[in-house]
Amino acid sequence: MQRTDIKSQLKSFFEEEFPNPGASLTDDTNLLDDWFVDSFGIVNTTLFLEEQFGILISRADINAVTFRSIESLSQYVANQMNSIDRS
């Protein structure tokens, strides 16, 4: 799956799951500052990522670097998918 596809699916998910009328979500929007509400937002996102992309997320991956933006999160998803493909 291409990075652009991953980004597109992430964007749709965030806009639908955490609607933020009046704000526009870009690849670089700070998800932690400007989009997520709290730690339950992370839980829902985790469920989505695991189901949609077939990856497994560990607690150590729940950090501000990974979840900073769609850009960083899509990179993480792509890496996880690659590591699954290789194994």
Partner 1 sequence: MTGLLGDAPVSKKLQQENDRHNPVMVLAVLAFLVVYIYLFTYASKSLDLPMPQDLSESLGLYVDHVFDVDRNVDSSLYVPFTWVFIKNDDERLVLFLGAGFAFLLVYFIPFEHKQRSLVFSSLIIIGVLYGMEGVSGLLCAHSLVYLILHPVSSFRLWIAFLPGFFGFWTFDPYMLLGSNVLIQSLLAGSISVLIYRYGILRLLAFSPAAKILRVVVVQSALITVFIGALIEGWLTGPWKLALGVLLFFWHWERLFMYHIDYQDGKIPKNISLMTYLSVFLTPGQISNWNWGATIGQGYAYTVNNFLCEDKNKLVMSGLQLWTVSLGYLIFGSWIHAGLLDFFNDQGILVYGRIEHMSSDFVFGSNLGPATVLLTTLLALMKWTFSWGGVLHFKVGLWRVCGYKIAPYFNYPWLSTNLVTLWSRFTFHYREFLVRAFYYPVFFKFFKGHTHLRIFTATMAAACFGNLIWGHMTEAMFYSNIESNVLLLSLKQWPYFVLLGLGITVSEFWLLHKKKTSRRPWTPDKYIGWDVLSAYVTLQYFALIHVFFYTTPEASLSDNFRLFLTGFGF
CA pair distance 1, 3, nearest whole angstrom: 7
The mark string for 53-82 relative to partner 1 (x by CB under 8 A, - otherwise) is ---xxxxx-xxx--xx--------------
**15-54 footprint of partner 1 as x/- string (CB under 8 A):** xxx-x-x----------xx--xxxxx-xxx-xx--xx---
Helix (H) or strand (E) holding 84: helix 70-86
Q: What is the CA radius of gyration of the chain?
A: 12
Are 7 and 29 a contacting pair, CB within 8 Å? no
Note the residues at the interface with partner 1 (CB under 8 A): 15-17, 19, 21, 32-33, 36-40, 42-44, 46-47, 50-51, 56-60, 62-64, 67-68
